Every structure is written in C-alpha cells, then in structure tokens.
Amino acid sequence: MSWLHIDEASDFSLQNLPYGVFSCEGRDQRIGVAVGSYALDMKVLAENGVFSAIDFDVTTLQEENLNRYAALGRPIHRQVRKFLQNLLDVHTSLGHLLRDNETLRNLAFLPRANINMHLPMAVGDYTDFFVVPYHAQNCTNIFRPGQSLPPAFFQQPLGYHGRASSVVISGTPIRRPKGQFVTEDGRSVFEPSRKLDYEVEFAAFIGQGNAPGEGINVEDAEDYIFGLVLLNDWSARDIQRREAAPLGPFNGKNFSTSVSPWIVSLDALEPYRVASLPKNGPLLGYLDEKKDASVHDIPIDVQIQADSETFVVAQANAKNVVFSFA
C-alpha cells in the first residue's frame, strides 16, 4: 500500500513500476515511472538528490531515452525498483525525501492524462521470432497449404530481422503501405494493401549488450533483458504472400511496428511465471534453460474499435510459446 492514492484496479501498482519516456507542457522528453494515475518524473528526482543513497550513475535517469539507464544492468535496476517501492510505501522510512516535501511532490508527480508518450528506447536492431505453434501453423495453412511445421520450429527459436527505423510508439498513425501483390482476378498490381492485418506479440527491450562474437549463456540471458512491452507486428498479407517464398517477409512487414509505451520489468512479472509449451524432444545444451517456469501467464484480449463500438477479435496468452525470451 502506498501513501500516494492508487486505485485498487490500477495496472500501475507498487508491484509494477514500469519505465517510459514522456513529455508535457513545460517539460522536454524525459524518463518517467508509472504509478497509479501519475507519471513519476525521474529527472526531477535525480536532479534533487533523491537517489543519493544508491551507488550508480544518476545522470542515466536524466536522459531523453532509457538506453543508458537500461545498460547499467539488472542489479542496479533491482536496487532502484526496491528503493522506489520503499519511497512510495505507506510506512516508508524515506518520507523526508518526497512524501513530506510538498514542493518536490508537486514537481515529481504528473497526471498521466496530461503527458505525451514517446518511444522509450532508441532501437538499433529488431528481431522478430516465430515461436507460437498455433500462429505458425495458421500461417503455414495460408501461405503453404497442406504443409506441417518444420522440425526446426521445435528445436531452435526461428526469427528474422525487422526494420528498426519503423518501430513506433503505440498510437502513432499507421499509413496503409503500397506494394506488389496479385489481385483476386490474377492481375499483378502495385497498390495500397487491401489486406492490412495485425499480430499481437510480446517484445523484450535489451539493456546490457555483448561484444560481437561473444555469446551469452542461456542461464544468464534474462539479466540482459531490461523489460517487456506489447508489440503489434503490422502485416500487409497480400504483399507478404507475393514475396514470402523463398526468403520470407520484407515489404509486407517493414512499414511499421507499434510498441506499448511502458516497459515492464521481469521482476514485476515474476508472480506470473509458468512453463512453456512442450518441445518435440530434448534441446541442444545451449538452449536448455534447465527450469520449468520460463514464460509468463498473461492473457491478452485484442479489440477493434469502430465508431462507438468495440469488438473483441482475438484472445491470446503470452504463455503459448515454445521458447522464452532467454
């Protein structure tokens, strides 16, 4: 429980505390943490010495994106998370830092309804993995009718490189892409896609990096993940169908990819860990996590709003994968 009013139904409790990047009137782009109906301005806290008890480079919280802070690594992120939970707890021993400082409180807490969200990290690379068997089989049925999933699907995570420059924050308008496809009457045309589609996915932002050619053990891989977001892998199915064989998607998917604004840490998702879907046999050692609960049980409803009506068009769950982010 917090001394700050947080609605019981809020997704942004003290157990969550996701990071994002925002701006608002009078304030440039900066890092924030979602708490209840507020954004907690981390730049304001950093500039006022609130984090002085933690040994880390506090200037990383004064940046316009989360890249430098994310690169500090999971041990620092855990310290800051624990500190924020204590700072905001109803029985905090740190009341003098924020709760009892009215001037700083008024500067630090901003109603989320009054802020504009931005892409939380600069995206230098983007890889899209193909690890949901139900989705994969549906795609196979559409593009290669009569074929089954290849054995490699269950033996290693399959993926392809996306276009990092077209990753945008959720809410950014999407322009229907133009491309080459075959019409129903057999004509080849270059026109706006007639079959624009969505794919609901989870995405991981990587914090720490590794040197080229230097591997990361699967047991340590989660320590390199800063947090997770929802992702919409926009897809132009008619363009994709034309180009998919033999090299896979290109123009059918590279025009835009939307991500949600708040990055949720793996520590916040710890209570929702479950086992992944079974593989078709043992994995090679470099992929064997040697633990049962490696994915997260998070249900997702996909809704489409048309005028004043909302329709549920799909239901999914983040646990329905054969490989975890590690």
- Are 131 and 114 found together in one domain? no
Q: Which of 77, 96, 135, 161 is catalytic?
A: 135
Q: Structure tokens of 90?
A: 């109803």
Q: Please tell me whether residues 113 and 135 are part of one structural domain.
A: no
Radius of gyration over alpha carbons of the chain, in Å?
Answer: 22
Q: Nearest 5°: CA angle at 153, between 316 and 163?
A: 70
Average pLDDT value for residue range 287-313: 91
More confident of the two residues 146 and 234: 234
The answer to whether position 4 is within a domain reads no
- Domain enclosing residue 81, as ranges: 19-118
Q: What percent of the chain is modeled with pLDDT above 90?
A: 81
Whether residue 317 contacts residue 196, with contact meaning beta carbons closer than 8 Å, is answered with no
198-240: per-residue pLDDT in tens? 999 999 999 998 889 999 999 999 999 999 999 999 999 999 9
Same domain, 234 and 158: yes
Q: How confident is the model at residue 148 (pLDDT cuts 50, 70, 90)?
A: confident
Task: Give the end of a domain, one of 118, 142, 160.
Answer: 118
Q: Has 56 been labeled as part of a binding site?
A: no
Q: Tell me, what DSSP letter sits at residue 253? A: T
Of the three residues 100, 118, 136, the one that is the final residue of a domain is 118
Q: Is 118 assigned a catalytic role?
A: no
Q: Quick one: 26 and 109 in the same domain? A: yes
Is 144 marked within a binding site?
yes
CATH number for the domain including 62? 2.30.30.230
Asked whether the predicted pLDDT for residue 142 surpasses 80, the reply is no
Each residue of 1-57: pLDDT tens digit? 999 999 999 999 999 999 999 999 999 999 999 999 999 999 999 999 999 999 999
Q: Is residue 282 a part of any domain in this protein?
A: yes
Q: Which residues pair with 311 in a beta bridge?
A: 304
Encoded tokens for 282:
């043992």
Q: Please state the pTM of the whole predicted model.
A: 0.93
- The per-residue pLDDT for 141 is 82
Annotated binding-site residue? 187: no
Do 131 and 268 lie in one domain? The reply is: yes
SS3 95: coil
* Total domains in the fold of the chain: 2
**Distance separating alpha carbons of residues 180 and 241, to the nearest angstrom:** 10
102 & 210 share domain: no
Q: Is 240 annotated as a binding residue?
A: yes
For residue range 303-314, what is the model confidence (pLDDT) as tens digits? 998 888 999 999
